[in-house]
Amino acid sequence: MLSFQLYQLQQVDTRRDQLLREIQALQAQLADREEVVRAEWALTRAGEKVEEARRVLSSAEAEAEAVRAKLQRTEQALYDGSVRNPKDLQDLQREAEALKRLLARREDVELQAMLALDEAEQALLAAEEQLKMAKARRRQNEARWQGELDEKQKALAGLDARKASLCAEIAADALAVYEKLRQSRHGLAVATVHDGACDACGAPLTPALLQAARKGEPLAFCHTCGRILYVP
Ligand SMILES: [Zn+2]
């Protein structure tokens, strides 16, 4: 019976459409490496921040060291007896005091820079761990997705073969009508009939149409949605 053959073909095509969508989605997932790329980018950024924090620290160290050396020279001049003039000694004393205050500020900056470097290094370690995890997740997912993809492609090949053998038994003009309806009716060319109504659009069938649909050949079409009718 022609309507039954087309109904079988419709079932194969519906399953095939679904499989093709699933295969496409899996291929898109396999191609999408965004999580790993983002983790790699974050790691690069964290590495740059550590480098920057190191530069800041070494310049803070150099600045503190310069003040420390200057203070040492001033204190040496104060205490080694080379300066005897009370006015000069007083100036040196004042300079030493000012240098001590400056050194305290410089050392504070140095300490802040050390803490910032420490924080940046922690962040780098965390970023390395994140990337490791993202890659591990990716590997795991990839293996699973690839397995699913292989299975679906095998199922698709089976459906292709089934479709070919069904098509070989159906007249070319009926196939052309079927394919045209598939294109214009969201992939569904054949509608089943239950309780005297079209399952696709819900419209009730006239008794004459129902009788024609039962015969199944020549094809009967729903008066409302235009699909081929098949009565199971
Ligand atoms: Zn209908």
170-180 tens-digit pLDDT: 999 999 999 99
Domain membership of residue 214 as a residue range = 172-230
**203 C-alpha to center of ligand 1: Å?**
6
Same domain, 108 and 201: no
Separation of CA 131 from chain center: 14
**56 C-alpha to center of ligand 1: Å?**
75
Same domain, 214 and 140: no
**208 C-alpha to center of ligand 1: Å?**
15
Same domain, 134 and 153: yes
**225 C-alpha to center of ligand 1: Å?**
4
Q: What's the pLDDT at 104?
A: 98
**1 C-alpha to center of ligand 1: Å?**
20
Residue with tokens 């983790």: 39
Q: Are 95 and 74 in contact (CB under 8 A)?
A: yes
Q: What's the pLDDT at 127?
A: 98
Same domain, 158 and 179: no
Distance CA 116, CA 124 (A): 12
**200 C-alpha to center of ligand 1: Å?**
5
User: Which among 165, 189, 204 is the end of a domain?
Assistant: 165
**181 C-alpha to center of ligand 1: Å?**
12
**3 C-alpha to center of ligand 1: Å?**
15
**223 C-alpha to center of ligand 1: Å?**
7
Low-confidence ranges of the chain (pLDDT < 70): none
Give one word for 195, left, alpha or beta, with left for phi > 0 and alpha for psi -120 to 50: left
Distance CA 112, CA 44 (A): 23
In a domain, 3, yes or no: no
Same domain, 116 and 144: yes
Q: What's the pLDDT at 179?
A: 98
In a domain, 15, yes or no: no
* Domains contained in the chain, number: 2
Q: What's the pLDDT at 13?
A: 98
Q: Are 156 and 26 in contact (CB under 8 A)?
A: no
Same domain, 99 and 154: yes
